[in-house]
Amino acid sequence: PSAASTLALSLYPNPATQTATAETAQPTRLRIFDLAGRLVLTENTLLRTHRLDLSALVPGLYVVQATAADGTATSQRLAVSK
């Protein structure tokens, strides 16, 4: 994808334990998938900074996918440990 079609996403801390913060340049829909491709969490954000509650997730690797209203999207891996 070109830079024009990619959404900037910052996730921290990584690895995370109970919560992680997602920062984007615009409001987005955040979806978290496990490595088997199952959707485990969906959050709609109105602010550039959003706190994700990871307490229900088992330790492991996840993929966080962010999609903006204009269709731009990106994904990053997030490690969850307890």
From first to last of the 82 residues of the chain, give the pLDDT tens digit: 444 567 899 999 999 999 999 999 888 999 999 999 999 999 998 888 999 999 999 999 999 999 998 989 999 999 999 8
Residue with tokens 């955040």: 30
Contact 7, 23 (CB under 8 A): no
Domains of the chain by residue range: 3-80
- Report the distance separating Cα 28 and Cα 73, nearest Å: 9
Question: Under CATH, which architecture does the 3-80 domain have?
Answer: Sandwich (2.60)
